[in-house]
Structure formats: C-alpha cells, structure tokens
Structure 1
C-alpha cells in the first residue's frame, strides 16, 4: 500500500469523484479510496453522525441517574449497600461490555454489533423506567452498561473507517467528535432534569428518575428507524474479510464512488489480518503495538481518574465554594461543562489535523496539572476573590480535558491499531478506563472526607503521570496510515 505514489493516490481519488469506474484489485485499494475521500459529496458523514448517536447514548445513560439516585433509594427503601449496587451496576456492565464488544466488533463486523447494541439501549431504558423493585432496576442498569461498553469500540471503528486520512476532518478529528458529543449529552441530561423538575406536579416528583432513564430509549429508537437508509458495514472491514463485492457496494452507496471489483481481484482475506479471536488481546502487548498500548492505556486511565473525580464531584465542589442552592449549583455545573469542556472538545476537532493529538494532549494535561495544583493551594475559599479563582481553576481543568486527553484518549486508542485489531484495541482500552472510573468514583468521596481540598494534590498526580507517559513515548496517531500495517510485515 505504501509503494503507491502521492500523485497516483490523488489521480485515483480524482477518478472516483469524477464518477469514472474505479477497479478494486485488493483490500488495500478500498482503504486508499476511503483515505482520499471527499465527505462533502457522500453519505459517509451521515453514518458517522449515527455512530456518534451511540456515543450520545453512552454519556446520557451513564449520567442519567446522577440526580435521581436519592429518589430511587427513598422509593425502594434501599440500604446504602443496595444504593451503591444500583448506582454502579451500569459501570460494571460497561466493563464487561467493552471486552465483549471489542472482540465482536472484529469478529462479526461493525454494523451487526452496532444495531444489536441499539436494542440493548431500548430494552434496558424501558425496563429501568418501569422497574418495580431494585432487583429489576439493577439488572436493567447492568444490561444498559453492557450496551454502553459494547458501543464505544464499534462507534470508534465507524469514525476511523469512514473518514479520510489527512486534512481537515481527518480520522483524528472525526474520532475527537466523540468528546463534544459526550459533553452535549451530559448537558442535555442536566437540562432534562431541570425541565422535568419544573413541570412535574409536586405529588409526582417520584416520576422524575423514571422519565429520565426511560428517555434514553428515544434516540436509540430513532437510530433503529433510520438504519436501513444510511447505515452500512465498514468497507475497510468488509474488504479485509475478502468481501470486495460488498466493499464496492458500500463505496457506491456511502461515497458515491463508482467502484467495481476487477476480474483478476484477490478476494481472499489478506494474510496480515488476524482472525478475530480472544487471543488478539495479547497481540496488543507485542511488537510495535506494545508502546502504543501502554501510552493509550495510561492516557485513558489518567484522564478518566482525574475527570471523574472533578466532574462528578463538581456539584459538591461548587456548593462548598459558593455556598449556594442546589439549583445554582446545577446551573453553574452546566455552564462550566458547556463553556469550557464542550468548547474544548470543539477546539480538539478543529485543530488536531494541524497540531496533532500528541501536542494537544500534552498541553491539555499541563492545563489540568496547573488547575489542580491551583485548587490545592487555594484550599477552601475564604473570600469572593478566592472563590472566583477556584472556579477559574475548575474551568481551566475542564478546558484542558476537552481539547486534550478527553478528546484524544479515544484517538490514541482507535488509531494505534489497524482494522484487524481496532475493535479489541478500543475494547481493551475501555475496559481499563471504565475500571479506573469505578475506582475514581469510589475513592473520591472517601478522600474528600479525610483530606478536604487537599484531595486535589492526589488528583493532580493523574495528569502528571499522563504527561510523563507522553514525554517518554512520542507516538503521533493523527495523519498516520495505521491501516497500512494490515498489508505490511511490521
């Protein structure tokens, strides 16, 4: 694949866009056509948007119960242990789902896993909404977690395999879109809580958590309804399995490329493709992939630990700093997420093709380390000026998360591996990241109770570790033709 000149690649792309027949001789031709595609003239962006709809569901469902867990505990008379089980069931499901989803994404294809995943969301959301007791609710939340865990590997595969290699809107930028999508979903869950809280009669406030959880079925049903018109298998995955005819049809449908399979085409699965099996997780720790796996894993764990400790503790942090009502706390939390985390995510999408994921992640971790150090030094504010400074440090942290590790943790996880390993690569990364999230959410209240604002010294250790990993392993995934490694002897 690498022996084709740049001028030949441009000529091939030009012929494809001009509507001339483009003959596919081998799987690498399909990769080349995708890498040089023009999204302004095809439906590939719609496929990517639908995949991002899955990411939206992930974020929404993970955060949907944040403001309703107390109502659940009261309605079902839950003990503290059962409250913890109900609250954490979705995270444990996500840990299991990530490992399973990574394998299945490589085994049976992106499309089948994605569509099955949507049914998980619908069934689990409705079961949560009508749960008669804590047993059904916890079980439904675990199933929902399976859907969340399964979704990220397949969504990242779609984003990577339906976007071009370089230039504006490249693979790294497309994958970075997961970040603002995630923050948008969290913000919508906040807004939905406020809306329902305002319109529900006082005598029916116990419906609040049920409506919020049940709403998660709505976008999943929409995705299922429109799948037949736009959604398709990844042409790169199909070609790697030896299905060149199927890949050609997808190129025609999604890109408008007049692709045809040559009479002398090699339709056998390419030799470099590893047959999907559980043992492929071990391949992530061998050869050229070892350092990439270490870096992607450290970035994901450090990012998850710090963000969860700060973001999910944000209402508590703000209320202690400002001593305001819960409504004010929710509004300030919403404003910080929209103005800084969401905006940071948009900056990541815009600038990663120019600066690369490595530089932006390094700068993001630096911002976070400075912000957490500032919060630790400020302590509990005694004046308006100190409170303002503390809020500014939280904003700096969220901005750094948005354009740095928050956006690009998935870039490193998705673009460190070729098509044959992408599913298990993201699945492995997400399994460890979800585990880190669980530990972070468990430890943060305990550490805060014993250390108060000195807890920020502990949290600051996470971005510091991320910085050190980036300085030791200078791997830049943006603009690198990672799928070529399925056709070489690296």
Structure 2
C-alpha cells in the first residue's frame, strides 16, 4: 500500500474481491460505485453499526443524568445555580463540539475524528463516576459534551457515505437509523436505572448516578477495541481529497468491489474538490444551499425544542399525572419510549426509501401538534380517564417524533450538502439545535412553574413552525444525489437541485 493510500485508513480483509475490475478515474466514479452498489457490503455494514454506536453513546450520555440529578444536588448540597451548571454543562460542551467537529470532519477526515472522540467518552465517563465535587463533575460533563458534539457530524457522514443512494437501506434510511438507536440508548439508561434501583441497598442509592454515568465508558471501549479491524475512512471523502488509490482500497475492503485506479486517470494532482475551511460555514448560507440550510435549521430547532421539553421532562410530567412512586415513573417512561418513540423510529427507517423524508416529517409534526394541544386542553388530570388520555397524548407525541422529525431532521441536515460540506453542514445544524436544547431545558421548568400545563400551548408552537417551514420549502433529500454537486462545474446547479 502506498503512502497516499495509507492516508485513508483501510480495514483490510486480506482477500482480493472477485468480479470485473471497476476502473476509477475521478471522485465522481467512487461516489457512483457507492451509490449504485448492489453487492453484499461486507465491512461497510459494520462501519455503519460502529457509527451508530457513537450515536448510542451520544444519547446515553445526554440522558444518563435525568434520574440522578436530584441525588447529585443532595450529595453536593447544590444551589439551584449549581444544579443548572451540572445539568447544562454537557449541552454547552455539545454546542462547542459540534462547531469544531463539523470543521474537523471535513478537514482531516471522518476516521481520525471518530476515533479521537471515542477517547472523550471514556475519559469523561470515568471522571464523572469518580467526581469529588460539582466542579469536577461539570467539567467532565462539558468534556463529554465535546465528544457528543464532535461525534454527530462524523457519524452522519459515515452513515451517508457508506450507504447506497436508492432502494431499501438507502442513505436516508441509514441516517434515520440514528433515531431508534437514540431511543434504544435512552431506554437502556432507564433499564439501568431500574436495575440499580432494584439491587442497590437503600444506604447506597447515592452510588446510582455514579454507576450510570461511568457505564458510558463501556460501549466506547468496545468501539475502540474493534476499530482497527473494521473501521475505514469514507471512500468518497478520500477520493474528494484526490486520493483515488486510497478510495479504491476502501471499496475493495469494505464493499467487496474490485476497484482500481484507471491507467489513464490523472493522479499527478491531488487537489480536494472543495478545500475544507471555516469559510465553508458561510457557503451554507449561499446559493442553492441557503434554502436547504434554512429548512434544516428550522425543523431541527423545532424538533429539539419540543422533544427536550416533553421527553426530558417526562419523569416530572408523569409523576404529576400519576402521583405515583419513582418505580412507576421509570416503568411508564420506559414503556412510552420503547413502544412509541422507538417503534416510530423503526417505521421511519423502513418507510423513508418509499415515501421520502418530507412526506413523513409533515405527518410527524402534525401528530405532535395534536398531542400538545390535547395536553393543553386536558390540563392537570383530575380523574383516571383524564390521566390515561394525557398519557395517550404523550404516546402520540413520541410516536410522531420517532416517525417524523426525530428521524428526518438529521436526514435534512446530512443530505442537503455534498461530501465536501457535509461535516460543516451537520456541525452548523447541531450547534443551533444544541442551543435550542439548552434553551428548552432551561425554559421548561420556568414556563411550567408560571403556566402549569398551559406550557403545552407554548411548546405547540415548535411543531407548528416546523410544519410551516416544510410547506414553504418543499425540499426532498431522500434519493437525490447531492454528492454529485461536488463534481458539477461552478454555477451549473439547476433548479432540480434545489
């Protein structure tokens, strides 16, 4: 393997693929081979699974403190400001991490960034587990947030660039997999809480939050352990950097495609299709990308604001509805996530190749709007029937989230931009979305205290804004070859690409 080839990490299989040789003359050829591949994808499936493992870590770490924050407050004798510092540290870290991670993903490659951010998760999780005070805990959670923020752009790039363009398991479906993966992680955190709640003696319940946070190091260590065997650089990114030999090696190892650089290919000049740089954030707000960025940003902020207000406030909401024990609250929260949010996410993965992201996001927002209006009208339940109806509205909200915006806001963020802009595109989107999450988590308790259940009228404005944006800007990313825009001549994009 040449020095140029080694610059794009390849997980070698030790065998040469059978079949005719696919000659590569340009980065466009590499993109087409990935888009049109019908072969068994060998290591490519494993790369997607590992990337989803990163998403699992993101969700687990963000939600792991939901049930433990009261214990942290009690153990460290925190003021409300101190509690807010600990709770919000990870989201502030994610805001910074997303901005940096988007740039680095395009600059130095998907593989290097992904492997580096795994160490953030290990170190931060262990630091949280052994934190002696609130300042160390907040600092560790901030570092954990950096890892979360850095990971999403690179994970979405892997999902998009290791999947074909159309048909079952296409790019949109692979990216939508992030949603059920997210809910599975949240559900596992609930299960872990339930297990610890059952086995820990009452005198040691203060260990619960430490064990839950520390457990986040385990999946990260597993990913690190298997990375060298299966993880590869994105072949499309490698080709876009002018490294056709490296891209061909990845196609042979990960897809089983007998690819090689054509003798007449121009390999003397290794010039990136578009040079990575901070100025590319400005490109997102220019030309054909402006409308896509506006749409992706609005629906992501709307989805994040509504979901965080409802989902992360779910234990509080349920306890006020049911006036039951912590155990009942955990069980109902777990059931709602698994039966509705997770199932909705699985449906999104199966159906998006057929219907597209737009036709699924619109009804998803509509279900959420109906659910929030229903919760606002019910108010605080005064009977078993009203309580059951309110829980049904929460279930409807989570189903709509999983089926629609929860899955496909990331599709819009990832597939609205070609390979050269995908990192900064997702990074920009995630920076604003995390800011929305932080604002939502901060405002929900305040609005809830001031408006009681009238807060649902305010939250309902979020899905309404998402619906309006989708109706005004009808952009469908599923099945559209956005990577081809990297190879189009400057100024040659047509209205069909909008």
Which residue number corresponds to residue 411 of structure 1? 411
Note if contact 2:299-2:409 (Cα within 8 Å) is conserved in structure 1.
Answer: yes
2:398 aligns with 398
Residue aligning to 1:12: none
Q: State how far apart, in whole Å, the 1-side matches of 2:105 and 2:411 are.
A: 17
Matches within 5 A, 1:35-114: 35-38=35-38, 40-114=40-114
Query: Contact between 1:274 and 1:280, CA under 8 Å: does it hold in 2?
Result: no
1:366 Cα deviation after fit: 0.5
What secondary structure, in the 3-state scheme, does the structure 2 residue paired with 1:40 have?
Answer: coil
| Residue range with higher mean Cα deviation, 302-311 or 192-201 | 192-201
Q: 1:201 to 1:383 in 2, by over 3 A?
A: closer
Please state if 1:358 is matched with 2:371. no
In the alignment, the residues of structure 1 paired with residue 409 and residue 163 of structure 2 have an alpha-carbon distance, to the nearest angstrom, of 18
Aligned twin of 1:256: 256
Aligned length, in residue pairs: 474
Task: Please give the secondary structure, in 1, of the residue aligned with 2:257.
Answer: coil
Per-residue CA deviations over 1:279-300 (Å, capped at 9, x if unaligned) read: 1000000000000000000010
Deviation at 1:41, TM superposition (A): 4.2
Q: Secondary structure at the match of 2:40?
A: helix
CA contact (8 A) 2:39 2:256 kept: no
Partner of 2:7: none
**How much has 1:269 moved relative to structure 2?**
4.5
Contact 1:39 1:45 in 2 (8 A): no
- Structure 1 partner of 2:279: 279
Measured against aligned partners, the alpha-carbon deviations of 1:41-69 in whole angstroms (never above 9, x if no partner) come to 42211000000000000000001111111
Deviates more, 1:121-130 or 1:315-324: 315-324
1:283-339 deviations in whole A, cap 9, x for unaligned?
A: 000000000000000010000000011111111212222222121111111100100
Partner of 1:223: 223
TM-score by length of 1: 0.95
CA deviation map 1:397-431 (0-9, x unaligned): 10000010000010000000000000000000000
Structure 1: 4+ residue segments shifted above 4 A = none
- Which sits farther off after the overlay, 20-29 or 260-269? 260-269
Mind listing any 5+ residue stretches in structure 1 that lack a counterpart? 1-15
**8 Å contact 1:27–1:240 — kept in the other structure?**
yes
Contact 1:356 1:478 in 2 (8 A): yes
Residue pair 1:60, 1:185 contacting (<8 A) in 2 also = yes
Q: CA deviation at 1:201?
A: 2.2
Deviations 1:129-162 (A, max 9, x none): 1112222111111000000000000000000000
Q: Distance in 1 between matches of 2:76 and 2:366?
A: 45
CA distance in 2, matches of 1:314, 1:210: 22
- Structure 1, 130-139 or 451-460: larger mean CA deviation: 130-139
- Give the unaligned 5+ runs of structure 2: 1-15, 494-498
1:451 aligns with: 451
Show the counterpart of 2:199: 199
Q: How does 1:89-168 map to 2 (within 5 A)?
A: 89-168=89-168
| 2:328 maps to 1:328 | yes
Report if the CA contact (8 A) 2:35-2:166 is conserved: yes
Distance 1:335 1:230 in 2: 34
- Distance in 2 of aligned mates of 1:203 and 1:375: 38
Give the Cα–Cα distance (whole angstroms) in 1 for the partners of residues 210 and 384 of structure 2.
39
Task: Name the SS for the 1:175 alignment partner.
Answer: helix
Matched with 2:486 is 486
**CA RMSD for the aligned pairs?**
1.3
Task: Verify the 8 A CA contact 1:376 1:454 in the aligned structure 2.
Answer: yes
Query: How many Å apart are 1:17 and its aligned residue?
Result: 8.5
Structure 2: distance between partners of 1:290 and 1:114: 28
Aligned positions of 1:12-27 closer than 5 A: 19-27=19-27
Change (3 A) 1:149 1:41: closer
Identify the residue that residue 471 of structure 1 maps to in structure 2. Answer: 471
Residues in 2 aligned to 1:155 and 1:165: alpha-carbon distance in whole angstroms: 17
CA shift at 1:270, angstroms? 5.6
- How many angstroms apart in 2 are the aligned matches of 1:225 and 1:396? 40
What CA distance in whole angstroms lies between the structure 1 residues aligned with 2:379 and 2:304?
Answer: 23
- Conserved 8 A contact 1:270-1:487: no
Q: 1:105 and 1:464 mapped to 2: Cα distance?
A: 33
CA contact (8 A) 2:41 2:254 kept: no
